[in-house]
Amino acid sequence: MSIKYSTGPLENTGNNRSVDTVTHVLNNNRNKTVTAKIKVFALDGTKTIIDEVTVKVPSRSNIFHTTTIPVNVITYEVQIKVHHEDDNTVLVGTFGRDAAFNQNPNHIVHREFTRIDV
């Protein structure tokens, strides 16, 4: 079973624009490793992939994956596709960081993601 989550479009302008985005996958399952595919897209006119990675997250652990956001990207989206039979044990989140590596307002927690049918 797979579940895909999306941030939807995230605006990336102003003095605290994101220079990168950090995606977090937390596996609360007691016994099983999960696989997650993280994709980050630029949405400036044409949807263009910036980064794509597949990670394995062991039981009761988590991973962070950082993607650099090019300076010319004004809007971006993060998608996380989780491969696991129990969707209640895996939580996801993402946040942008400014040039000083401070967390900016583009912070999305699990319940704020939109589920996309796969």
Please give the sequence-ordered ranges of beta strands (E in DSSP) within the chain, or none if there are none. Answer: 2-6, 10-11, 20-27, 34-42, 48-57, 61-68, 75-83, 90-97, 103-108, 114-116
Q: Residue 8 carries which DSSP code?
A: -
Domain holding 53, by residue range, is 2-116
pTM attached to this predicted model: 0.92
Q: Tell me, what CATH number does 48's domain have?
A: 2.60.290.11
For the chain, what is the radius of gyration of the CA atoms?
14
What is the tally of structural domains in the chain? Answer: 1
Pairwise CA distance, residues 93 & 40, whole Å: 13
pLDDT digits (tens, 9 = 90+) for 55-113: 999 999 999 999 999 999 999 999 999 987 666 799 999 999 999 888 887 788 988 99
Nearest to 78 by CA among 117, 110, 34: 110
Q: Average pLDDT for residues 38-63, to the nearest whole number?
A: 96
